[in-house]
């Protein structure tokens, strides 16, 4: 078994003057990298989901702000500061609900404000801060992989949902990190990837990145997971999380809750893997989490082809909530957390980094 | 509340010389009726799924054989008999695993063989037999509706899967029959329609026929049913069946089993509605039912657009098996059957009419 070749979703261009992304709009039809070399290109890529996944969006936004601000590098410091503020606001607006994006932009603005001197010096500080965000994310993913590694035994058949992989982060992903590390350790591991309607991140992205890394993966329609479990074909379920309440209730991509119920019925362990920044001490339980309702046309269409009558209502919640009682353990970058969960207090000195 | 306008999926053309079908390939984009006036047209419609659903295929095949044989009506009886045998074999081959199609063709051949005289007389007997098959199917659907009517209370919110409606039968459907009758009785009833990947019969067909009939229907992706149940938005689950084993285990469209587990977890009744011809006394339990594995490209594609990498394997079972223990009751055209189920013996004088 060779070490898995894990895709790097966001990095600097070879000449350091652009942000190189894997264009996720083109997948799975074709693999395309794009260099974002202007504010326009950065904003377009984020707005059109060429880059997606909370951590990856934050990283691309931070690196993109460095690239965009570089265009004003020859101006006076006051002019540069004004341009930077405008660019930051503009990038932030591309995904207004992406808390990670705002968080990353804020970090770069703070780094810039802390520097006295010419724009070139400010740009160096911003680039260092963007590098730090990327490296912190890579380290976070690796630590999730290490904390979750004991869950993925040799021969494990893992069922996952949506994409919580390398394509969503700067590193090896969250839910997929223990899978990649297990493969790197030489364990034989295979993955069942739910296609994850309506936007099909599982079949389009998870299947693609795992196959590229040489990890056996099989796609299934979401409604096929139950009979696979009954047939004894699933050893564990491993999914990501968008937010984890203080009591351990988990908000994640729609369909996650159903998998948790099915796993419990079949005696299969159900694990959630997510950065500790996903823990939300201010949210006591899942009932306090508002569920975003998305455009019904995402359900009434697939790839622009109509799948349901246009005048029939469609239900399209983005997330569901899995009660903590159905979660066997939660893997974070800090630990493998077992119930009863208590994420009600932040560790000292650590700010919350929300993952919308 | 006006009486629901239930679609008639298969009937004679106005001039009686063709088979008029609702072309289900065009739905939900547009409504198109087609008159099948030759053996070519009949075979093409069945092979390309313009007409689908076990009962509807049988009816269309029987009526289509009358139309096709009519072309040989001017020949001698021996020549007519030879042409009839060839046409019957040809129509049968269009869906070789559709047991209902073979069963209906056999009934017409037997009716023809029982008649002495010129082809015109034989054709009359065949037409009468095709009429009988259609009328028996319509009566069967209505009886299922009557047997299941007590399950659909005023205000009921019914979750269904796939299409077991009027579009699949000659009458008002199987699983949807109690819904239509409840609406006809003036009860307020609404339906949640699983889209039913991979072929989307729920969003394409169930949503269309219910909306046309004036019954409130909302489409959802299959993975959204669990959170709906948790939110208390589902009063009962009502699905069809492809085969029911002697012990009550139910084979039906992939995804049915998961719904049964979810319904049990949430304390929601789970009902199966199907013709008694679906009971298979020769099959002791679900383990004895072979599950057809279909083309993985149905999962890797949606409407011809790729949804997963072409070289990644996909899992695509057509059916799953729901153990009888999860089935609250089974609605047939004979009765509302409660557990423990015992369909191991046929009622006297009744042949089995399998529904593949």
| ipTM surpasses 0.90 | yes
Distance from CA of A115 to the nearest CA of B (A): 47
- pLDDT at A349 > cutoff 60: no
The distance of A111 to chain B (nearest Cα, Å) reads 41
Q: Which residues of chain B have pLDDT under 50?
A: 1, 348-356
For the record, the structure tokens of A43 come out as 């904003």
A77-92 pLDDT, tens digit each:
999 999 999 999 999 9
Give the model's pLDDT for residue B75: 97
- The residue with greater pLDDT, A351 or A303, is A303
Q: On the CB side of B300, how many CA atoms lie within 13 Å of its CA? A: 19
- Contact (Cβ atoms closer than 8 angstroms) between residue A209 and residue A31: no
Alpha helix stretches (DSSP H) within chain A? 39-47, 54-70, 77-93, 99-113, 119-148, 177-184, 201, 207-212, 225-230, 256-265, 297-300
How crowded is the C-beta side of B141, counted as CA atoms within 13 Å?
27
- Overall average pLDDT of the A214-222 stretch: 98
Tell me which chain B residues have a C-beta less than 8 angstroms from the C-beta of A192: 315
Identify any residues that bridge with A236 across adjacent strands, giving them in sequence order. A158
Residue of A nearest to B298 (CA): A221
Q: Which two tokens stand for residue B170?
A: 């000659």
Q: Nearest residue on chain A to B219, judged by CA atoms?
A: A314
The pLDDT of residue A1: 47
**Counting beta carbons within 10 angstroms of the beta carbon of residue A198, is it exposed (0 to 12), middle (13 to 18) or buried (19 or more)?**
buried
Other CB atoms within 10 Å distance of the CB of residue B245: 25
Q: What angle do CA B324, B193, B99 make, to 5 degrees?
A: 55
Average pLDDT over residues A224-250: 97
Chain A, 219 to 238: residues with Cβ < 8 Å from chain B are: 219-228, 230
Q: Please judge whether A207 and B309 are an interchain contact, meaning their C-beta atoms are less than 8 angstroms apart.
A: yes
pLDDT at B352: 44
Summary mean pLDDT of chain A: 94
Task: Compute the distance between CA of residue B207 and CA of residue A34 in angstroms, rounded to an integer.
Answer: 41
Confidence class for position A274, pLDDT limits 50, 70, 90 = very high
User: Confidence band (pLDDT; 50, 70, 90) for A199?
Assistant: very high
- A122-to-A69, A84, A112 alpha-carbon distances in Å: 10, 11, 5
User: Global pTM?
Assistant: 0.94
The partner residue sitting opposite B223, judged by closest CB among A203, A255, A303, is A255
To the nearest whole Å, the CA of A66 is away from the closest chain B CA by 34
- Min distance A163 CA to chain B CA atoms (Å): 13
Q: Is the pLDDT of residue A352 over 60?
A: no
Phi-psi region of B349 (alpha: psi -120 to 50; beta: other; left: phi over 0): left
Chain B, nearest residue to A198 by Cα: B221
pLDDT score of A354 more than 50: no
Q: In angstroms, what CA-CA distances link A242 with A34, A273, B308? A: 27, 10, 24
A311 Cβ under 8 Å from any chain B Cβ: yes
DSSP B294: -
pLDDT at A356 over 50: no
User: What is the spatial distance between Cα B176 and Cα A113, in angstroms, rounded to a whole number?
Assistant: 65
Residue A204: its chain B contacts at CB < 8 A?
307-308
Number of H helices, E strands in chain A: 11, 17
Best probe of the A interface among B7, B191, B207, B258, by most A CBs < 10 A, is B258
* Predicted local confidence at residue A346, as pLDDT: 59
Q: So what's the pLDDT on residue A239?
A: 98
Q: B131 an active-site residue?
A: no
Closest CA to B332 of B263, B281, B283, B279: B279
**pLDDT-based confidence at residue A283 (cuts at 50, 70, 90):** very high
Tell whether the torsion through CA atoms of B43, B49, B50 and B54 is positive or negative: positive
3-state secondary structure of B199: coil
Residue of A200, A216, A312, A322 best to disrupt the B interface, most CBs of B under 10 A: A312
User: Best residue in B191, B237, B308 to probe A by mutation, most A CBs within 10 Å?
Assistant: B308
Selected catalytic residue, list B242, B249, B280, B333: B242
| Partner-chain residue, chosen from A219, A257, A317, that has the shortest CB–CB distance to B308 | A219
Interface of A with B in 333-352 (CB under 8 A): none
């Amino acid at each position: 078994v060779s070490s898995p070749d894990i895709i790097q979703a966001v990095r600097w261009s070879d000449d350091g003057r652009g942000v190189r992304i894997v264009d996720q709009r083109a997948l799975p039809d074709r693999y395309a990298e794009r260099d974002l070399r202007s504010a326009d290109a950065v904003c377009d890529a984020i707005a059109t989901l060429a880059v997606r996944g909370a951590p990856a969006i934050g990283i691309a936004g931070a690196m993109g702000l460095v690239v965009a601000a570089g265009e004003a590098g020859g101006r006076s410091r006051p002019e540069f500061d004004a341009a930077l503020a405008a660019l930051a606001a503009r990038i932030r607006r591309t995904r207004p609900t992406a808390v990670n994006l705002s968080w990353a932009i804020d970090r770069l603005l703070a780094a810039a404000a802390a520097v006295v001197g010419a724009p070139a010096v400010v740009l160096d500080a911003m680039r260092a801060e963007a590098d730090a965000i990327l490296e912190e994310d890579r380290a976070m993913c690796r630590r999730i992989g290490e904390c979750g590694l004991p869950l993925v035994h040799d021969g494990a058949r893992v069922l996952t949902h949506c994409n919580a992989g390398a394509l969503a982060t700067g590193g090896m992903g969250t839910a997929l990190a223990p899978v990649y590390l297990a493969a790197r350790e030489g364990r034989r591991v295979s993955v069942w990837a739910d296609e994850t309607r309506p936007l099909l991140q599982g079949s389009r992205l998870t299947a693609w990145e795992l196959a590229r890394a040489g990890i056996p993966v099989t796609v299934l329609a979401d409604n096929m997971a139950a009979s696979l479990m009954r047939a004894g074909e699933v050893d564990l379920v491993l999914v990501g999380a968008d937010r984890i309440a203080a009591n351990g209730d988990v908000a994640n991509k729609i369909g996650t809750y159903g998998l948790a119920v099915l796993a419990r019925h079949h005696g299969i362990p159900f694990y959630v893997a997510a950065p500790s920044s996903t823990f939300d001490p201010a949210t006591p339980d899942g009932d306090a989490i508002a569920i975003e309702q998305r455009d019904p046309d995402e359900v009434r269409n697939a790839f622009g082809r109509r799948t349901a009558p246009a005048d029939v209502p469609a239900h399209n919640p983005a997330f569901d909530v899995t009660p903590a009682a159905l979660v066997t353990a939660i893997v974070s970058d800090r630990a493998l957390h077992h119930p009863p969960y208590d994420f009600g207090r932040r560790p000292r000195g650590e700010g919350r980094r929300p993952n919308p």
